[in-house]
Amino acid sequence: QVQLVESGGRLVQAGGSLRLSCAASGRTFSSYTMGWFRQAPGKEREFVAAINRSGWSGGSTYYADSVKGRFTIFRDNAKNTVYLQMNSLKPEDTAVYYCGARPPGSSEYLYWGQGTQVTVSS
């Protein structure tokens, strides 16, 4: 069982930056693929970014086209934390951001945090 707690969301002006954090419990954090997703009002949850577990494809990262070049996902296994650095924010980035954990061998994210609200004003 993994518990995830997101933080860092707030109101920011367009063009600004935010760093979201997701702290995980447990001693197996480094073995999980971690992802960030978001859900805007009236829309389905969508993929934002993911990072493989360390040592698997060298911790490769993946991004949605809409955030590529603006967002960066990275992890600190010593702190059991995954981050999402968001630059050049746009109003359309406004959403609740969730982090998820996908265990080895699973095709799905099985653990989710409660979400953190990001609001980008124009």
Tell me how far apart the alpha carbons of residues 81 and 21 are, in angstroms, rounded to a whole number. Answer: 7
Query: Which segments of the chain have a pLDDT < 50?
Result: 57
Alpha helix segments (H runs only) across the chain: none
Inter-residue contact 103 to 8 (CB < 8 Å): no
d(CA 1, CA 95): 26
pLDDT at 85: 98
pLDDT of residue 55: 60
Q: What is the pLDDT of residue 80?
A: 92
The predicted-structure confidence for 46-72, as pLDDT tens digits, reads as follows 999 999 986 654 589 999 999 999 999
